[in-house]
Amino acid sequence: MAKKKIETQTIVWKETVTIENTPEKTQELQAAFDSSKEVLLDISELTDIDITGIQLLIAAQKEATLRKNTFKIIGHIPPSVMECFQSIGIPVDKVAGGEQFSSNILETISSGEHNA
Amino acid sequence: MLEQINEVFFEEANELLESLEGMLLSLEEDPEDKEIISAIFRIMHTIKGSSGMFGFEAISKFTHEIEGAFDMVRNGIVPVSAQLINLTLASRDHILKMLKGDDSEQMKEQSLRIIDAFKQLTAPYRSGTAVKNETKERAKTTDEHTEKQTTWRISFTPSETILCNGTRPTLIIKELSEMGTATVLLFYQNVPPLSQYDPQLCYLSWDIILTTTHSKNDIEDAFIFIDEQSTVRIEQIDLSLIENRKIGEILIERKAISKKDLDLVLNQQKKVGEILLEKKLISKENLQSALAEQTHIKSVACAEKANADKTVEQAAGAGAQQSIRVNSEKLDQLIDLVGELVTFNARLGQLSQKMNNSMLLTLGEQSERLILSLRDTAMDMRMLPIGTIFTRFRRLVHDLASDLHKNIELVTEGAETELDKTVIEKLNDPLIHMIRNSVDHGIEMPEERIAAGKNPQGTVKLIAQHAGAFVLITISDDGAGLNKERIYNKAIERGLITPGTELSDTEIYEMIFLPGFSTSANVTAVSGRGVGMDVVKKDITTLGGTVSIETNPGKGSNFILKIPLTLAIIEGMMVQIGNAKYVIPLTNVEECLEFNPEYEKDGSVCSHIEARGQFLPYINLRTYFEITDPIPTSQQVVIVNDQDSKLGIVVDHVIGNHQTVIKPLGTLYKNIQGLSGATILGDGTVALILDIFKLSEVIRKTDSAV
């Protein structure tokens, strides 16, 4: 693995992350993973997220596991986004109290893929 | 023991029959109301069951027939008709008689007659049992659909390209979640790492455990817009097995593992889910999903059980509020004791005042607060909604109207207004009289009503409402109204007034309260015998209430009863004359003034005083009660109202507010005018309670005599 110049990089998602803009958000995240050891994602200003956005979070989590990097979601999760998570079955209640939507929440993904 | 059980049965049956009456009358108004029909059926069913259980075979057999008829009504085979309702009302009365132990031959014949009538009524609809059964079956299944909850396992795997054609799986899941209790399980193992991620594709899939009253069709409808590559599997979860559902069983049913695999690992000690996971027989997702399903089913089962318990409770209460049955005598006893406590506390208060011990004063105040709230609670327990007697009147009006061939609707308002139990009991007879009057004299025959341009259906309204410490009960009809001339002429005829006497409208109307007064041209079975309104007035007056009349010729009349909320304890104002103390009900008191005797005519009982620019008649109690104690230098006058007018009561001096527990006066004092009762004071002496209405009458009589 190549040496990282930047230790931590924070990406901020604002307004909406839906199918229209997920391609660019994917690239943005990809670039961050390429250049940093730790990627932080601030979604406190996000108002709407759809399936593609949520998939992107999961994909990023898997990417981090694969690269042995850290991927964390920081900042307070807005209620509307929280509702999106809950409605499709992500148990957000586990993170609602904490300040981070950390790797714990998606832990099952990484272990899940072994058996998939 | 057996007697006690029988007692419970009788009480229950009586209550059921009472509510049955109300329901039947409601059904008459709204024959389509399925809930009432089912409730009636249930009542019949309960009576049948419990009477059988307690060995009242005759009742059980009789009720069985009616239950059968109502089963047909419930299933929409037999329509609700006036005949059916009347017949059921008759059966209800019949059951009531049977309950009272009447088992004469006559009763048995009557039973057969009613049963025959029911059979005749249902006969035309009985043809073709096959059809009947089919309808019944269908009704049953619809019932199940609307009432029973089913738990479904919905496995939804959208195609990868589902997002490209604009379908949003989240909306589908949301729609499903809104159908009932849902547990949504997300599977994201197919989501690739970021480097391989295509943002246009859908990698997720779901299991949704849904407990809902909706049918499978409704669930399928939610998936109507998905593309062909997506897969949806909807399976019903058998809830009957949930009691001992093991995680392994769920997994087998879900085809995640075979029974053999499960048995193999079951021999080990660890938790079956963990072991299965370890052995890689299932994925973590599988386990997670199954666990969630288990949780979901457990919670649904719990909720269902709680629901069932609630239904049982509701059925037991027959729609009533949660309550316990207490003998009303015990309540009366409680009120008596609270009354004693109030008196006792007054003594304590007096003593502490006298000793001027601050400790004692605090304790006295504290106990007073406690006793007052105890009093309020005890009083509250005696309060009953007046609606309990309103139901009886619906039957009364129904029966009277059909006897008189009139078309009358009884409208009740404020049935939830609460009144003291004893007051409600004493109100029953006067109200029956007044409603009879309204139905018989007030409402005209349908033809007359049509001729007068009115709705052929007359309305009798029974309205109860709170007004301070009183409850106003209005009995109004939209009938012809009181005929002033006829009352006047009748009064002359009966020698109550001399021809040419000038009377105000109110005075003329008041005449109907005189004994033996009836203007009805002919005596009917219902009313017109001249017994009634005077009794009504007397009854209401003993309750401390008043009756007033408003009438509008051609439009109808209102009879307004003003009834005090309670009889047992009142707030009073204590006054003193000579050595004796008197209590004036505080609800009547307007104000207290200094008595300026310069206007008083010597020796007379009543005269007038000026109070705030108004001349009011007053009564000097010292003179009226012939008290000979020395007159104090200054006297006070309490201005009271008797609903219609104000008057002054001259006393030596006003002491203040007093919690008054009313004790009846013995028969010895029955004829003393102006006293309504007595109360025991803190020091053990007796204070008399003044009857303002009587005193006002005394003043009026002396006035007209002068």
pLDDT single digits (tens) B628-679: 888 888 888 898 887 667 888 888 889 888 877 777 777 787 777 888 888 8
| pLDDT tens sequence across B498-515 | 777 777 887 788 777 777
Contact (CB<8Å) A29/B204:
no
The pLDDT score that the predictor gives to residue B137 is 41
Percent composition of chain A: helix, strand, coil (DSSP 3-state, to 5): 50, 30, 20
- Lookup: tokens for B469: 């410490």
| Size (chain A), residues | 116
Contact indicator for B290, B248 with CB cutoff of 8 Å: no
The pLDDT score that the predictor gives to residue B272 is 60
Beta pairing partners, B653: B576
The pLDDT score that the predictor gives to residue A99 is 39
Angle CA B634–B688–B374, to nearest 5: 110
Chain A CB contacts of B282 under 8 Å are 115
Distance from C-alpha of B3 to C-alpha of B139, rounded to nearest angstrom: 41
| pLDDT tens sequence across B310-325 | 555 444 444 445 667 7
Contact indicator for B637, B648 with CB cutoff of 8 Å: yes
Nearest to B92 by CA among B118, B57, B53: B118
- What are the strands, taking DSSP E only, across B134-175? 150-157
- Lookup: tokens for B387: 């609606």
Helix B358-382 and helix B328-355, axial crossing angle in degrees, nearest 10: 160
Contact (CB<8Å) B199/A55:
yes
Q: Does A108 touch chain B (CB under 8 A)?
A: yes
What's the predicted TM-score (pTM) here?
0.44
Residue B440: pLDDT over 50: yes
Residue B470: pLDDT over 80: no
- Lookup: tokens for B493: 């005829």
HSE of B598, CA atoms in CB hemisphere, 13 A? 1
Residue B459: pLDDT over 60: yes
- Lookup: tokens for B389: 């007697």
Chain B CB contacts of A52 under 8 Å are 163, 199-200, 202
| pLDDT tens sequence across B377-404 | 887 887 888 887 888 888 888 888 888 8
Contact (CB<8Å) A113/B170:
no
Q: What is the mean pLDDT of residues B327-356?
A: 83
Between A and B, how many CB-CB pairs are < 8 A? 99
Distance from C-alpha of A79 to C-alpha of B475, rounded to nearest angstrom: 57
Distance from C-alpha of A56 to C-alpha of A52, rounded to nearest angstrom: 6
Chain B positions contacting chain A at CB under 8 Å are: 163, 168-170, 173-174, 177, 184-186, 188-195, 197, 199-200, 202-204, 206, 280, 282-285, 288
CB-based contacts of B400, cutoff 8 Å, min separation 6? B406, B408, B436, B439, B440, B526
Residue B441: pLDDT over 60: yes
Chain B CB contacts of A23 under 8 Å are 199-200
Least confident of B48-52, B119-123, B318-322, B644-648: B318-322
Residue B89: pLDDT over 80: yes
pLDDT-derived band at B284 (thresholds 50, 70, 90) equals low
Residue of A nearest to B168 (CA): A51
Distance from CA of A50 to the nearest CA of B (A): 8
CB-based contacts of B263, cutoff 8 Å, min separation 6? none
Preferred mutation among A13, A55, A83 to probe B, highest tally of B CBs within 10 A: A55
HSE of B109, CA atoms in CB hemisphere, 13 A? 3
Distance from C-alpha of B31 to C-alpha of B556, rounded to nearest angstrom: 29
Q: What is the DSSP string of B623-659?
A: HHTT--SPPPS-EEEEEEE-SS-EEEEEESEEEEEEE
Contact indicator for B589, B636 with CB cutoff of 8 Å: no
The pLDDT score that the predictor gives to residue B582 is 92
More confident residue, B98 or A107: B98
Residue A109: pLDDT over 60: no
Residue of A nearest to B201 (CA): A52
Interface of A with B in 42-71 (CB under 8 A): 50-52, 54-56, 58-60, 62-63, 65-66
Least confident of B19-23, B197-201, B523-527: B523-527
- Helix, coil or strand: residue A50: coil
Residue of B nearest to A55 (CA): B191
| pLDDT tens sequence across B223-254 | 777 777 788 888 877 665 554 556 666 677 66
Distance from CA of A76 to the nearest CA of B (A): 23
> In which region does residue A113 sit, left (phi positive, over 0), alpha (psi from -120 to 50) or beta (all else)?
alpha
Q: Please state, for a pLDDT cut of 70, what percent of chain B lies above it.
A: 79
- How far from each other are the two terminal CA atoms of chain B, in whole angstroms? 69
Distance from CA of B162 to the nearest CA of A (A): 11
Helix B82-99 and helix B105-126, axial crossing angle in degrees, nearest 10: 150
Q: Smallest Cβ distance to B163: which of A19, A25, A63?
A: A19
Distance from CA of A82 to the nearest CA of B (A): 13
